[in-house]
Structure 1
Amino acid sequence: MQRTRFNWLLASLAALTLTACSGAEEQAAATPDPVHFENGDECHVCGMLIEGFPGPKGQAITEKDQQVRKFCSTRDMFAWVLQPENVNREHTLYVHDMAQTDWQNPNDTALIDAREAFYVVGSTRNGAMGPTLASFARQVDAEKFAEELGGKVLAFGEVTLEDLNSGMAMSGDRL
């Protein structure tokens, strides 16, 4: 009788493990890929054309309806993401890894998960509309950028609306 209970317990644990693994695989498969920036794309925040401007861009893909929102800069992406109506929603977010692409013309093959990226706030480099957050896949690359061009390194979850506003003020002080 005890052996039967033990076998039943092992079978239950195996089934639970398989279920948990398959759920993770389904969730990973459900994550949408980044979308290329095309001629004529407009920024969801400011309405400006995205192509032809320097610095990292951002995009948000809503989980519910897979709607893609594109941003002319990481600053505009954060301005949208950090709004009260968006901050707790699930979005797949992408930004350019600036260690892998040219600042003047970011390549879409360098798009990375924005939530895993590191950001330099307050550098001397400008994006599409002035100050922006330089985005990097690796913290060491962000630190090197900040050492050369100023600013502070933050993880995704550390960026606040105040950081976005302080970047504007810092840039204005240098003009």
Structure 2
Amino acid sequence: MKLFYLVSAALALAACGAKPESSPPAPQPITERSVGHYCTMNLSEHVGPKAQIFLNGKPDKPVWFSTIKQMFGYTKLPEEPKGIAAIYVTDMGKVSDWRTPNADNDWVDARKAYYVIESGFIGGMGAEDALPFADKAQAQKFAAEKGGRVVAFGEIPDEYIFK
């Protein structure tokens, strides 16, 4: 019987120290303080889709990106932090004015988005960029009409990101 009480006490103590799983931080709106991680320019100065990454322990301070390719580079470069709590990208399928995306805070979880790459779309830094869509059918329709191909988050080729 003593063993039962010891085990029960150990389990109760372990449960007290367990941290409840928290939900990821919500995407933040772009403001005048939203500055691109690599370009150090205000995101509102750039056309095209944007991205934000939340690092573990910093739920209210996203790392901002002027382009989708920059966000992918950040996730792949060994010198950048890897404790990522959440990544959000512009859902271009919900954007009404492509000159001012995110005016309505149209964000989608980057890992669940579909990306049109190799379409020739010139993004915020004057180079070709990927276009994220929450809906795969919208991404496929865009690629069929404008060119490019549709890939998932884990399928973006390194050659495309670092070209």
TM-score if structure 2 supplies the norm length? Answer: 0.78
Amino acid at match of 1:126: I
- Structure 2: 5+ residue stretches without partners: 1-14
- Aligned residue in 2 for 1:80: 74
Q: CA deviation at 1:104?
A: 1.0
* Alignment partner, residue 106 of structure 1: 101
Paired AA for residue 100 in structure 2:
N
8 Å contact kept, 2:53–2:84: no
Alignment of 1:94 with 2:88, yes or no, is yes
Once the two structures are superposed, the pairs formed by residues 113-124 of structure 1 within 5 Å of their partners are 113-124=109-120
Alignment of 1:50-89 (within 5 A): 50-66=43-59, 67-86=61-80, 88-89=82-83
Report Cα offsets for 1:48-85 as digits up to 9, x if no partner. Answer: 32103211100000023333100111111111111124
**Identity among equivalent pairs (%):** 33
Alignment of 1:25-64 (within 5 A): 26-27=20-21, 29-64=22-57
Cα distance in 1 between the residues matched to 2:38 and 2:27: 19
Q: 1:87 Cα deviation (Å)?
A: 7.7
Per-residue CA shift, 1:20-46, capped at 9, x if unaligned? xxx8xx53x431000111124221022
Per-residue CA deviation, residues 104-125 of structure 1 (Å, 9 max, x unaligned), is 1112421110010000111122
Alpha-carbon distance in structure 1 between the residues aligned to 2:149 and 2:119: 8
Please tell me whether residue 151 in structure 1 is matched to residue 148 in structure 2: yes
2:124 maps to which of 121, 128, 138: 128
Greater per-residue helix proportion = 1
Could you tell me which runs of 5 or more consecutive residues in structure 1 were left unpaired when the two chains were aligned.
Answer: 1-18, 167-175
Shift of 1:88: 4.8
For the residue of structure 1 that corresponds to 2:105, the secondary structure is helix
3-state SS of 1:127 partner: coil
Q: Which letter maps to 2:153?
A: F
SS in 2 for 1:70: strand
Q: 4+ runs of 1 displaced by more than 6 Å? A: none
Task: Letter of the 1:106 partner, please give it.
Answer: P
Looking at structure 1, the residues matched to 157 and 85 of structure 2 have their Cα atoms a distance apart, in angstroms, of: 17
Q: How many residues align?
A: 142
Give the 3 Å change call, closer, same or farther, for CA 152–87 of structure 1 in structure 2: farther
